Amino acid sequence: MGIHHYFKSLSDMEKLYRCPGKFLYNEHTVAAHSFKVTKIAQFLGTVEEYHGKKLNWKSLYEKALNHDYPEIFTGDIKTPVKYASSELNRLFSEVEEEMTHKFVTQEFPAAFQDIYLERFKEGKDGTLEGNILSVADKIDLLYESFGEIQKGNPEPIFLEIYQEALTTIVKFNEMDCVKFFLDSVLPDMLAEKFIPQSELSKITQSLIADGD
């Protein structure tokens, strides 16, 4: 039994890289992804609350913070594999749950086991907080894939990921936070522009002229 094993396992999330098997300009760890999803969920929750929704903040933070923790037991199984067979997907989830259950009962003091079994459960459960997690998870994925496309990554998979992530976000477009994202965030992301090398010459000449 040992919380030391739990604390140590957090470092394993710094060694799990997302999107294994693909060239990326900018690698992301599961630890950093979990951090960003929690920060994004915090913002989305703030928007929901502003529009009068009653939010369980404790639940939202627990869902966002822990949503990928079971990956330290199972590793990264590729999405197409998971969905290749609904039977496989069901079995995989079962095994993930069993391994998480075993870890919690082995390493946590009895007094905290139920709390942690609850925390490590699938968080995307149709509640407001679960829906915010679903959206936040996909917003970070959208940013990751946009970053690769913007830097010129020629792998077509990043456009597929971008589309898949956006499609999921749009499914929740009745939510105020999704409306805010689609109206006030996404356009700014798409409006980002490159500095074409040709412009550099003009800028340079103007700066040199200014100095004279």
Q: Which residues in 146-175 contact its own copies (CB under 8 A)?
A: 146-147, 149-154, 156, 158-159, 162-163, 166-167, 170-171, 173
The residue (of 126 and 197) whose beta carbon lies closer to its own copies is 197
Using CB under 8 A as the binding rule, the residues of this chain from 80 to 99 that contact its own copies are 80-81, 84-85, 87-88, 91-92, 94-96, 98-99
Work out how close the CB of 126 gets to its own copies at its nearest, in angstroms, rounded to a whole number: 18
CB–CB of 22/157 below 8 Å?
yes
How far from 102 is each of 35, 73, 91, CA to CA, in Å?
A: 25, 11, 16
User: Which residue matches tokens 């499609």?
Assistant: 167
Number of residues that bind its own copies (CB under 8 A): 111
Range 85-94 contact pairs with CB under 8 angstroms and sequence separation of 24 or more: 93/122
Interacting residue with its own copies among 74, 105, 122, 125 (CB under 8 A): 74
Work out how close the CB of 134 gets to its own copies at its nearest, in angstroms, rounded to a whole number: 14
**Binding of its own copies by 58 (CB under 8 A):** yes
Work out how close the CB of 124 gets to its own copies at its nearest, in angstroms, rounded to a whole number: 18
**Binding of its own copies by 62 (CB under 8 A):** yes
Greatest extent of the chain over all pairs of C-alpha atoms, in Å: 76
Work out how close the CB of 146 gets to its own copies at its nearest, in angstroms, rounded to a whole number: 8
Work out how close the CB of 196 gets to its own copies at its nearest, in angstroms, rounded to a whole number: 9
What are phi and psi for residue 17, nearest 5 degrees? -95, 140
Binding mask 112-151 for its own copies (x = CB under 8 A): x--x---x-------------------x---x--xx-xxx
Alpha carbons 102 and 74: distance in angstroms, whole number: 13
Alpha carbons 38 and 32: distance in angstroms, whole number: 10
Work out how close the CB of 132 gets to its own copies at its nearest, in angstroms, rounded to a whole number: 14
How far from 56 is each of 108, 128, 191, CA to CA, in Å?
A: 25, 9, 34
Interacting residue with its own copies among 52, 54, 110, 111 (CB under 8 A): 111
How far from 22 is each of 35, 46, 78, 161, CA to CA, in Å?
A: 22, 35, 12, 13
**DSSP reduced 3-state for 29:** strand
